[in-house]
A = this chain, B = another copy of it.
Amino acid sequence: MLIGELAGRAGTSARTLRYYEAQGLLHAERDANGYRRYAEEELRVVREIRTRLDAGFPLADVRPFVACLRAGNDAGHVCPDAAAVLRRRLAEVDGLLTELGAVRNRLAEQLACGAGPC
């Protein structure tokens, strides 16, 4: 599978895949002409990366999830390292939810005040 095909199947761009490779997350053989040749497994890796990015992980934190997949596991989060990152992110998200909730309340309160007296 060449880079264009993998990009198409994963719903992303070739540029993005090269970037992941530069970050050490994606692997590819090289054809004689220098073209990247991807194993089927890399599709799962790309999907794992995209899923984690969508969940707000920085790329660097996706590393243990990918390693976990490569180790032969069905899911990226079953390994201790990945689970630890997961817990950290969960705590972070909880914090964000709290902050954002406070912001929301302040906004709503100000809107209420604007409509009438406080």
Contact = CB atoms under 8 A, between A and B. Distances in A.
A37 to B, nearest CB: 32
Given A56-B103, A103-B56, A110 B93 contact: no
Given A100-B97, A100-B100, A107 B89 contact: yes
A92 to B, nearest CB: 10
Contacts of A103: 54-56, 93
A78 interface: yes
Interface of A: 54-56, 75, 77-78, 83, 86-87, 89-90, 93-94, 96-97, 100-101, 103-104, 106-108, 110-111, 113-114
A103 B106 CA distance: 23
Nearest 10 CB-CB pairings of A with B? A90-B107, A77-B110, A93-B104, A83-B114, A55-B103, A78-B114, A86-B111, A97-B100, A77-B114, A86-B107
A86 B101 CA distance: 15
B78 A104 contact: no
Given A114-B83, A114-B86, A100 B107 contact: no
Nearest to A103: B55
